[in-house]
Structure formats: structure tokens, C-alpha cells
Amino acid sequence: MSKERSSRGTGSRAGSKLGPQKSYASKTNDPLRKPERRNASGNLIAPVGQKNFSNAKALPQHAIHLERLLPELLSFEQPADRVVSRYFRSEPQLGNRDRALIAESAFAILRRKNEMSQLAASGEGSQARRLALLGLMSALSEGGLGSANRAESAIADLAHVLKPGEYEWLQHVSTIDRNSLNPLVRNNLPEWLWDAFGQYPGEASREELAQALMHPALLDLRANTMKTTREQLLAEMNALGGRYQAIPTPYAPDGVRIMGKPALQNTVGFKAGMFEVQDEGSQLLSYLLAPKRGEMVVDFCAGAGGKTLAIGALMRSTGRLYAFDTSERRLANLKPRQARSGLSNVHPVWIDSENDAKIKRLAGKIDRVLVDAPCSGMGTLRRNPDLKWRQTPVGILELNQKQTNILASASRLLKPGGRLVYATCSLLPQENQAIAEAFLKNHPNFEVVPAAEALKPLFPKGELPIGCSLDNPWWQLWPHIHGTDGFFGAVFQKKAVAKVDSEGTKNP
């Protein structure tokens, strides 16, 4: 789950994931790859809170930078993080806090494009200027455009930036009742995606999901159990104080949630490989695979290797863990992370496609395979808000064929009795249940393992595991319910080959 992907859709995670780069969202929104410019949501520079972005005297320049940045950003020809990063490279005089406010304002505009565009239809000056002011107001009020108190405080901060009439205009738009807006406008979704979310029961749940996707993701870490424990990591983070305040994640056993947005790359723990930044939902995905010590395991679409490293830690650095990907650059990004992790069982392997000869040579030899498939990334909109404007229904159809092909190819690797996990960071049934059901229909030598059964070891008291239900075997996480990215998982097992005894009787 991605899951940022050059496009799991046409998304903001640059790079390919077993297919053409323009087809789906990439995984290169690695928050530690360019730490001075990225946050845990995969966006450029984490918001550091109202009053802390920068000296207020710099706000006029922030508005100017946003005006310059927005035309390219809103053309949606490139992933948003790539556009913002390129702009920052062209403006080296900007400090970290300047970048923080500009980036968070830009992503606020992407999250609320429909709403802000309608509000910006009034007022004076250029559209880019009005959008820039709305983005700054949202960032300074921590997204609280609908909160009178927070909006009023943000407008006061912007007062010396504003031209005649703009103060009154911002005051006016901040008082508009969001409930009076058209659902597409207040929920900031394209019509096709709003309709797709409507396939799920309950109008309220659709609104709640859309609203949750407009808030930045939380910052989760995975304690690297090869070097530390969650308890030790919590103690070390809390000892740092301030924005490093940490609590346990509610579901993932090795997860730590940081309450602020600190510069993690500067910590001793990061440099020593004590943790990786990884969404709690992504951490749980490794438990669906449930790798064991000494096994042969393949992460079929490894990307920069966040899940690979989690799987390797569960294997206690034993056996062999192959990390397949079609992007040499992304596999190269895995190497320093692997070195910090202390894992010796990870073997990155570049493949040219899902039909690479290297895959054929391992056919029937692997115990477990994870297919974290290229997808639209609609479960990651908290991190990659531009995806909802860049993806299209036609793009989804193209992805469906790729997902089908990759899953079929990966299934050939399994030994009898081996486990195959198909996963996406999508919320769309056509990328999830439809692909899983079609795979079962076309591969009678596989059977479903209910997700609740696969995750049962994490919930020994008998409660229903997170993301599971009694009426279907699949695993689904929701941002508005679980506080994670949106993830889907399907667990399959390759049936054992029946043996024939001397009397011609088949035995399992």
C-alpha cells in the first residue's frame, strides 16, 4: 500500500513498479531519501505548526513563490512532489522553514482544489494570487478553513501581506458554511472518484472518507527489531522531548507514532538503523505474509524496500529474501537502508518485467510471495493529493490488466503450500476484490486464506483483527476508520499436489 508510485496511476511516487512509468504511482516518496525536504506523508517538508513556519516578515515572499509555483503544479503533468522539489532547487536561498510553509500551502491547495477554486472565483487579482492566499491561510491554520478561530488567527498573521480588499475577502470566505457547498466541492474529489466511493454503503461513510483524505497523514515509525524494541524506541524518542513525543501505534506491534514532525534524519536512532518511517497499515501488511525463519521469500514489487525490510526483520535475517523491481534507481535506494537495518538476507534483483527469465528460474521454489501491486494509489491521498486529479478511469483500466499479469506471474514462484499475498494501496474494488476474485477463477490450484486467519496471531484474545470482517475473506484498511492509509490485501495458498499411492488412490 502505497503506496506514493511514476504513477501508480499517474501519481506522485516517481519511478516504475513493474510497468511503464506513466501508468501508476511510484514509491519514491521515501520520507528519508531527501530528509531535509520531505515529511512522513511523502510531501516536501513537514508542516511544523502555526507560528513556527517562518518569520512573519517572509510571508510576502511565500505568497509570491506560491504564485509562481501553482501554474505548473495545477497542470498535473508531473507528480506534485517532483514539481515542488524542482522549484526549491531553483530557489536555493529558501530556508527549511520557508520550504515548509510553501510546500504545505501548495499541498493544501491540492487537497482542497475544488473548494479553493470556487472560493477564489470571487475577489480581486489573479487566480493564482487568490489560491496562494487560501493555501497560506489553510497551512497557517493547520487546515482549519472551516474553523472561525483558527482562520481568524491565520488571517491576522497574513494581514501585512495583503493588498487592499484582500483582508475583507479572506474574512468573508472563511465564514462560508462548507455544508452549503456542492458535495463535489466540499469533499474535493473529481466526479468519477466521488461516484466510485459511493459504491460503498452509506452516504455518511463516503463523506467521512473524503474528509479524512483531506488531512495530512500521521508520522509512523517501525522499530527495527534487529536492533531495538518498540519500548526502547519510545523511550528514546520521548527523551528528546518537543516534537519527538511518541506513542505506540494501536495495531502494529512494532509501530511508533510521532506526534510532531521532527527532523528524524538527524537523530542517532535513524543513523543507527533503529527505525524506518512506515505507515502502520503498511507494517501490518507484512503480517499477512507471515514469513518464517529460513524460508525463501520474494517481495515482487519491492520499490525502495520499506516492506522488504519489515519482512526481513520478521525473518530475523535468515533464509533468502529477494527484492524484485523494474527500477534500478529504486533498488539502489534500498541499499543504504538495508545497510542501516543490519539485515544480511536481502537480495535486490532488477527485472525487466513480470516475465523476466530470472522469475522463471525460481518457479516452484519460493515459500512466500508479496505482490504489492502498482495501483492508482487512491488510499494514499493524504500523502499524495495530486493523485486524485491526475488519475482517470481509463488509467485504472490499464492498471487492472497490469495487476492481473503481475499476480499471475508471481504465482508461478510458489511451492505447493506456499503463500501469495496480493496487496494495493487503493480503495477501488476494481483494483482489489475484482482482481483477487478473477485470480481465483483462473487459478484453481490456489485457495483463499481468510485475512482474519492470517492476522490471528496478532490478536490472540480472539477479537476480530483490524481490517477484517466476518462476511468476506479480504483485508481492507480505511483512513477514516483506522487512521492509516487505505490498503487492500488478499491471501492465497497454493494447494498441495495430490500424491497417488500404489493402489491408484489420491492422497493429499
Residues acting as catalytic residues: 425
Q: CA of 203: how far to CAs of 160, 187, 191, 208, in Å?
A: 42, 12, 15, 9
CA dist., res. 175 & res. 194, Å (int): 25
- The torsion of the CA quartet 409, 410, 411, 412, rounded to 10 degrees, works out to 60
- Break the chain down into helix, strand, coil percent, rounded to 5: 45, 15, 40
Q: H helices within 187-325, ranges in order?
A: 191-197, 203-212, 230-240, 268-271, 280-289, 306-314
Q: Which of 11, 12, 190, 173 is nearest to 103 (CA)?
A: 12
> Which helix or strand (DSSP H or E) is residue 256 part of?
strand 255-258
Q: DSSP readout, 84-116?
A: HHHHHHH-TT--HHHHHHHHHHHHHHHHTHHHH
Angle, vertex CA 487, rays to CA 101 and CA 326, nearest 5: 85
CA distance 446 to 443: 6
Listed residue (30, 8, 7, 6) closest to 426, CA to CA:
8
Cell numbers linked to 197: 466511493
Write down the residue that cell numbers 534487529 correspond to.
Answer: 226
Q: Which residues pair with 369 in a beta bridge?
A: 298, 420
Q: How far apart are CA 237 and CA 248, in angstroms?
A: 11
Q: How far is CA 257 from CA 15, 217, 247, 277, 483, in A?
A: 28, 11, 5, 10, 11
Terminal Cα-to-Cα distance of the chain (whole angstroms): 35
The residue written with cell numbers 524484485 in the block is 324
489 in helix, strand or coil?
strand
Residue 421 sits at φ, ψ, to 5 deg, of -115, 125
In the structure grid, which three cell numbers stand for residue 454, read together? 492470517
The enclosing H or E element of 31 equals none
Whether residue 465 contacts residue 457, with contact meaning beta carbons closer than 8 Å, is answered with: no
Strands 346-350 and 320-325: parallel
